[in-house]
């Protein structure tokens, strides 16, 4: 029998909660989720589902909250071992910490170890899908997808391409970037739950020839994603202007080389010009908010509600290891704090939607991941809303689900994750 019934409180979304959380949010204090062959087939009142399926095995989580597994839309698995490195701005941080660490991925065994470590840390925090930059080494991409395959996880990844402004041992060429990326794409894209993302790190580390080569590859494989960085820091933008003096703005360095499109993922996007916002919206591209990284590296305050009102797709991400936590709960807390600083704090429903449905939509995987509804893969996170004494004492006096959930968003960590299911399997049963 492949069916299983999970009982507990359920939280699901039927619409865009970022724009209207009250209409598109459904909470059931005694809900149930029926799983069959790794997918969700029904979500509804727990008692009714139990009565309709009396022979199906049941896991009852009591008053724990069942939600879709979290979706991390932008991170760097090769930076796992150097997370929380002290005290640098972006460019110095890359040179001091990131590039030396990424050079270690020339060793496939090291890549295998870090890929598995990253996914296990993510699962411990309730994250079931991640979108990662790999390194210049094709073996780092193989390691990433193989580790995910062993855990039945849906992940996105791609070889990070750089042919200038990087150490010699981390550079490729325009041609090798194309050739390596195409070979990896052919090997992995659409295999099981793997999605390939063409991956120029960012304009400063790619020549125009390399960007054009990757743009041509994307044009030949438009069903792939494309991920990069955009307008993270003011000094980075000045650097880009010096390297691309004919570009209208930072986004134009991608647009001019075929790297602007609906399936594009643009990380950070803090300091956008009006033209950039208009073009990103026009083509249906997604920007990805990385709040813990933006504050840790001192990048700036993302304009969540302004960009949402402009019509942009928005995902949410840890940006490990620029981000200082593997936890999407911590990312949601930082999103709330940045919203407060901008005068637009988000409701708990909006934060949960961004970490699940919003990121899934940014990845063009809405309805398949990050979704608690029929047809979606059964990637689930079970949250204990009283995981620590401090959280429990606050939850005990809550008047509704939002007052009960918000302390976990603001103070929760991996102790709040009671259980995780991936493709209908309890993670504890697959270890």
Residue 360, judged by CB atoms within 10 A of its CB (0-12, 13-18, 19+), counts as buried
For residue 418, give the 3-state DSSP assignment.
strand
Q: What would the mean pLDDT of 410-419 be, rounded to a whole number?
A: 98
DSSP code of residue 1? -
DSSP per-residue codes, 307-338: HHHHT-EEEE---TTTSS-S-HHHHHHHHHHH
CA angle 144, 289, 403 (to 5 degrees): 105
Query: Residue 276: is its pLDDT beyond 80?
Result: yes
pLDDT exceeds cutoff 80 at 127: yes
Same domain membership, residue 416 and residue 284: no
Considering the domain architecture, whether residues 64 and 157 belong to the same structural domain is answered as no
Q: Which long-range contacts (CB under 8 A, 24 or more apart) does 383-386 make?
A: 383/64, 383/65, 383/67, 383/126, 383/408, 383/412, 383/416, 383/417, 383/418, 384/64, 384/408, 384/415, 384/416, 384/417, 384/418, 385/63, 385/64, 385/65, 385/416
Q: What strand order describes the sheet that includes 25-36?
A: 39-45, 25-36, 3-13, 58-68, 380-383, 417-422, 425-426
* Tens-digit pLDDT profile for residues 99-114: 999 999 999 999 999 9
312 shares its domain with 407: no
Based on the fold, state whether residues 220 and 90 are members of the same structural domain: yes
Asked if 230 contacts 202 with a C-beta cutoff of 8 angstroms, the reply is yes
Same domain, 358 and 376: no
Nearest residue to 293 via CA among 98, 22, 430: 98
| pLDDT, the chain, mean | 96
pTM of full prediction above 0.85: yes
Dist CA 287 CA 265 (whole Å): 6
Beta bridge partners of 41: none
Which H/E stretch holds residue 4? strand 3-13
Q: Please say whether the beta carbons of 148 and 124 come within 8 A.
A: no
Q: Among 362, 384, 402, where does a domain finish?
A: 362
Q: Are residues 138 and 11 in the same domain?
A: no
Same domain membership, residue 158 and residue 89: yes
Q: Is 357 in the same domain as 383?
A: no
Instruction: Tell me what the mean pLDDT of segment 119-143 comes to.
Output: 98
Domain containing residue 28: CATH number: 2.30.40.10
User: What is the pLDDT, as a whole number, of residue 93?
Assistant: 81
**What's the total number of domains in the chain?**
2
341, 362, 383 - which closes a domain: 362
pLDDT at 79 over 80: yes
pLDDT over 90, % of the chain: 94
CA 50 to chain centre: 34
CA 80 to chain centre: 15
| Residues 173, 292 within the same domain | yes
pLDDT at residue 429 above 90? no
Judgement on whether residues 320 and 392 belong to the same structural domain of the protein: no
Q: What is the mean pLDDT of residues 161-188?
A: 97
- Of residues 140 and 322, more confidence is placed in 140
Q: What is the pLDDT of residue 87?
A: 72
Predicted confidence (pLDDT) at residue 94 exceeds the cutoff of 90:
no
pLDDT tens for 133-145 read 999 999 999 999 9
* pLDDT of the residue at 90: 75
Q: What is the pLDDT of residue 89?
A: 74
CATH code, domain carrying 217: 3.20.20.140
Percent of the chain, pLDDT > 70?
A: 99
Sign for the CA dihedral angle at 337, 354, 388, 428 comes to: negative
333 and 390 co-located in one domain: no
Instruction: Say what the pLDDT of residue 430 is.
Output: 40
Confidence of residue 349 (pLDDT cuts 50, 70, 90): very high
Report pLDDT for 1: 52
Sole residue written with tokens 């209208």: 248
What's the rounded Cα separation, in Å, for the pair 219 and 233?
29
d(CA 364, CA 402): 28
User: Rounded to an integer, what distance in angstroms lies between the CA atom of residue 323 and that of residue 76?
Assistant: 10
In sequence order, the 6+-apart residues with CB closer than 8 A to the CB of 319 are 74, 75, 76, 267, 268, 290, 292, 293
CA distance 381 to 367: 16
Residue 345 is part of which domain span?
70-362
At 94 the three-state DSSP class reads: helix
Is it the case that residue 361 has pLDDT exceeding 90?
A: yes
272 and 325 assigned to the same domain:
yes
Tokens of 105: 């991925």
Instruction: List, for residues 200-242, the tens digit of each pLDDT value.
Output: 999 999 999 999 999 999 999 999 999 999 999 999 999 999 9
pLDDT bracket for residue 431 (50, 70, 90): very low
| Mean pLDDT computed over 290-298 | 94
User: Which of 362, 388, 411 is where one domain is finished?
Assistant: 362
pLDDT band at 162 (very low <50, low <70, confident <90, very high): very high
Q: Does the CA dihedral 223-74-138-69 come out positive or negative?
A: negative
| Per-residue pLDDT tens over the stretch 254-271 | 999 999 999 999 999 999
């Amino acid at each position: 029998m492949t069916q299983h019934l999970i009982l507990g409180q359920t939280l699901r979304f039927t619409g865009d909660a970022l724009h209207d959380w009250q209409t598109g949010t459904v909470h059931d204090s005694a809900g149930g989720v029926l799983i069959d062959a790794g997918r969700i087939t029904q979500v509804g009142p727990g008692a009714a589902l139990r009565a309709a399926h009396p022979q199906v095995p049941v896991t009852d989580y009591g008053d724990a909250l069942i939600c879709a597994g979290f979706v991390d839309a932008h991170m760097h698995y090769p930076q796992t071992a150097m997370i929380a490195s002290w005290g640098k701005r972006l460019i110095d941080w890359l040179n001091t910490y990131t590039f030396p660490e990424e050079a270690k991925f020339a060793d496939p065994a090291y890549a295998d170890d870090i890929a598995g470590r990253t996914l296990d840390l993510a699962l411990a925090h309730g994250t079931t899908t991640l979108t990662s930059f790999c390194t210049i080494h094709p073996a780092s991409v193989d390691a990433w997808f193989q580790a995910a395959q062993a855990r039945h996880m849906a992940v996105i990844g791609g070889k990070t391409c750089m042919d200038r402004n990087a150490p010699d041992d981390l550079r490729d060429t325009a041609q090798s970037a194309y050739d390596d990326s195409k070979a990896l794409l052919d090997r992995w894209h659409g295999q099981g739950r793997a999605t390939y993302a063409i991956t120029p790190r960012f304009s400063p580390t790619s020549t125009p020839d390399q960007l054009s080569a990757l743009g041509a590859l994307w044009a030949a494989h438009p069903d792939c994603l494309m991920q990069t960085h955009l307008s993270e820091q003011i000094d980075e933008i000045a650097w880009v202007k010096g390297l691309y003096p004919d570009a209208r703005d930072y986004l134009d360095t991608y647009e001019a080389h075929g790297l602007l499109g609906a399936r594009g993922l643009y990380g950070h996007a803090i300091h956008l010009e009006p033209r950039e916002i208009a073009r990103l919206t026009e083509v249906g591209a997604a920007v990805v908010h990385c709040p813990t990284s933006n504050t840790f590296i001192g990048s700036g305050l993302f304009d969540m509600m302004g960009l949402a009102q402009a019509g942009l797709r928005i995902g949410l991400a840890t940006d490990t290891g620029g981000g200082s936590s593997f936890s999407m709960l911590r990312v949601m807390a930082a999103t709330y704090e940045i919203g407060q600083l901008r005068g637009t704090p988000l409701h708990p429903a909006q934060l949960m939607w961004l970490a699940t449905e919003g990121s899934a939509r940014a990845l063009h995987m809405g309805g398949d991941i990050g979704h608690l509804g029929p047809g979606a893969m059964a990637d689930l996170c079970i949250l204990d809303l009283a995981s620590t004494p401090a959280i429990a004492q606050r939850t005990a006096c809550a008047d509704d689900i939002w007052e009960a959930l918000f302390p976990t968003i603001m103070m929760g960590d991996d102790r709040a994750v009671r259980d995780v299911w991936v493709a209908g399997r309890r993670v504890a049963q697959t270890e």
